């Protein structure tokens, strides 16, 4: 996986070869288009999603032509209000898929998400089956407001579900699962993977169940628990570790809420050494919950301190030299894993 800087603005390939190797973003687009064909209650809304334009990253290009303006809605710049409107639609049984232009702007809709949508079923049985697609993550020289990974805010919030696919297949599978889920689901897509990562995507109706992590690589010496773009950095590190005779197991969480605690504890108990990696701020990030869970429930199996690598406790800096210092990568993972293996 490269971190190509043209991560986002070109058109998405629409012709799929027989081997069904799709880019990550093409998988998102395909899942959405197919589900809109299957289910007339599914619609998309967000800034610039309609018309020939089809969204900042072109995920919905051609959608208005196929599905009509009623199902492909351009919104004014009013995230708080239009997520609220999506909640109203969802309460009436529609299934809006909301595109945030960048995940960074999800905070603008915060109250609509964490106070209204997240609590409504608990309070009065109102189901809110919307999905927010949030183009997240950095490494692409986009600066503090186009690089954020804000998932921890939502994992801490009762009533939401949170997913973060790392592969084209899961990009499709988790989006379908998210749309079909009767709850508000935040779907964090990884911009650096958009056009840089290709992989096999099953045709047709393919679902990755929410709540199931995936062992992306098996190993006995230590566990690397991660998600999103960092999966590929972890896999690259694991490859190098293997050359050094260290067999790392790599667990791709895929769903961040609800966490697959069984899978987390299984790998921790299996290897006894755990390194948790994510691009988001390490401090009080999702990795803290994973580490705490392991320290609580796999303690007796542990042979070493639970390690974490994450973003620094700063805004995401823009300049390449600073962003590289800010951001985890395969090299940093490799170094930490070697130390852990040697513990």
Ligand X SMILES: Cc1ncc(C[n+]2csc(CCOP(=O)(O)OP(=O)(O)O)c2C)c(N)n1
- Return the one option of a copy of itself, another protein, ligand X, none that residue 292 interacts with (CB less than 5 to 8 A, by type): a copy of itself
Binding residue for another protein, selected from 51, 62, 199, 202, defined by CB under 8 A? 51
Beta pairing class for 72-74 and 161-163: unpaired
281 binds ligand X, rule: CB under 6 A:
no
Among 57, 63, 82, 105, binds ligand X (CB under 6 A): 105
Report 292-331 residues binding another protein (CB under 8 A): 312-315, 317-322, 324-326
Query: Which residues, 110 to 149, sit near a copy of itself by CB under 8 A?
Result: 110-111, 114-115, 118-119, 122-123, 144-145
Q: Compute the distance between CA of residue 256 and CA of residue 110 in angstroms, rounded to an integer.
A: 18
Q: By rule CB under 8 A, what string of x and - marks binding of each residue 161-200 to another protein?
A: x--------------------xx-----------------
Tokens of 294: 């392991």
Instruction: State the alpha helices, DSSP H only, in the chain.
Output: 24-38, 63-67, 79-91, 110, 120-124, 151-155, 168-180, 230-243, 261-271, 286-297, 320-326, 330-341
CB of 29 or CB of 101, closer to ligand X:
101
Binding flag, residue 211, another protein (CB under 8 A): no
Query: What interhelical angle do 230-243 and 330-341 show, nearest 10?
Result: 50
Q: Which of residues 218-257 bind a copy of itself (CB under 8 A)?
A: 257
The single-letter DSSP state of residue 130 is -
Shortest Å distance, C-beta 67 to a copy of itself: 31
- Figure out which of the listed residues 23, 60, 75, 101 binds ligand X, where binding follows CB under 6 A: 101
21, 13 in Cβ contact below 8 A? Answer: no
The CB-of-189 to ligand X minimum distance in angstroms stands at 16
User: Where does residue 38 fall: left (phi above 0), alpha (psi -120 to 50 degrees), or beta otherwise?
Assistant: alpha
Q: Which two tokens stand for residue 95?
A: 């299934």
Q: Which lies closer to another protein via its Cβ, residue 223 or residue 255?
A: 255
CB 285 within 8 A of CB 317: no
Which member of 121, 146, 214, 232 is catalytic? 146
Q: Distance (Å, rounded) from C-alpha 327 to C-alpha 289? A: 20
Q: Is 146 a catalytic residue?
A: yes
Site for ligand X in 127-186 (CB under 6 A): none
**Cα pseudo-dihedral 214, 215, 216, 220, rounded to 10:** 170
Locate tokens 């589900």: which residue?
35
Q: Which is nearer to another protein, 146 or 273 (CB)?
A: 146
Residue 65: CB minimum distance to a copy of itself, A: 34
Q: What gap in Å lies between CA 238 and CA 235, rounded to an integer?
A: 5
Dist CA 260 CA 38 (whole Å): 29
Query: Which of 127, 209, 299, 319 is in the footprint of a copy of itself by CB under 8 A?
Result: 299
Interacting partner of 285 out of ligand X, another protein, a copy of itself, none (Cβ under 5 to 8 A depending on kind): a copy of itself
Cα–Cα dist 71/74, whole Å: 10
**Residue located via tokens 């996986």:** 1
The residue range among 100-108, 128-136, 157-165, 315-323 that interacts with ligand X, by the rule CB under 6 A, is 100-108
Task: Give the Å distances, CA to CA, from 99 to 90, 120, 165, 204.
Answer: 15, 21, 16, 22
Pick one of 47, 189, 249, 323: the residue that binds ligand X (CB under 6 A).
47
- Any idea which residue has 């998309």 for tokens? 44
* Contacting residues toward a copy of itself, per CB under 8 A: 104, 107-108, 110-111, 114-115, 118-119, 122-123, 144-145, 152-153, 155-159, 257, 281, 283-289, 291-292, 294-297, 299-300, 302, 304-308, 312-315, 317
Q: Which residues of the chain form contacts with ligand X (CB under 6 A)?
A: 47, 77, 79, 101, 105, 108
User: Which are the catalytic amino acids?
Assistant: 146
């Amino acid at each position: 996986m490269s971190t190509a800087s043209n991560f986002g603005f070109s058109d998405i390939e629409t012709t799929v070869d027989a081997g069904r190797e799709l880019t990550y973003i093409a998988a998102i687009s395909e899942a959405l288009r197919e589900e809109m064909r299957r289910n007339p209650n599914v619609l998309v809304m967000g800034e610039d999603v309609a018309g020939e334009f089809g969204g900042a990253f072109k995920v919905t290009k051609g959608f208005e032509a196929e599905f009509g303006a009623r199902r492909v809605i351009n919104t004014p710049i009013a995230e708080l209000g239009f997520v609220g409107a999506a909640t109203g639609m969802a309460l009436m049984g529609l299934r809006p898929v909301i595109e945030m232009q960048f995940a960074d702007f999800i905070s603008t809709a915060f109250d609509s998400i964490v106070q209204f949508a997240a609590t409504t079923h608990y309070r009065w049985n109102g189901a809110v089956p919307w999905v927010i697609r949030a183009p997240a993550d950095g490494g692409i020289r986009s600066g503090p407001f186009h690089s954020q990974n804000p998932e921890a805010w939502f994992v801490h919030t009762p009533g939401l579900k949170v997913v973060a696919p790392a592969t084209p297949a899961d990009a499709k599978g988790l989006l379908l699962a998210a749309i079909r889920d009767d709850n508000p689901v935040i779907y964090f897509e990884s911009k650096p993977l958009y056009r840089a990562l290709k992989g096999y995507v099953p045709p047709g109706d393919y679902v990755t169940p929410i709540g199931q992590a995936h062992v992306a690589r098996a190993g006995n010496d230590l566990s690397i628990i991660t998600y999103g773009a960092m999966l590929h950095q972890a896999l690259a590190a694991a490859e190098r570790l293997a050359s050094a005779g260290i067999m790392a197991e790599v667990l791709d969480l895929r769903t961040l809420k609800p966490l697959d605690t069984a899978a987390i504890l299984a790998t921790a108990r299996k290897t006894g050494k755990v390194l948790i990696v994510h691009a988001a701020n390490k401090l009080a990030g999702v990795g803290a919950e994973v580490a705490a869970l392991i320290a609580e429930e796999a303690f007796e199996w542990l042979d070493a301190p639970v390690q974490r690598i994450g973003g620094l406790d700063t805004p995401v800096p823009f300049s390449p030299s600073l962003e590289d210092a800010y951001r985890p990568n395969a090299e940093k993972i490799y170094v930490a894993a070697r130390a852990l293996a040697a513990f």
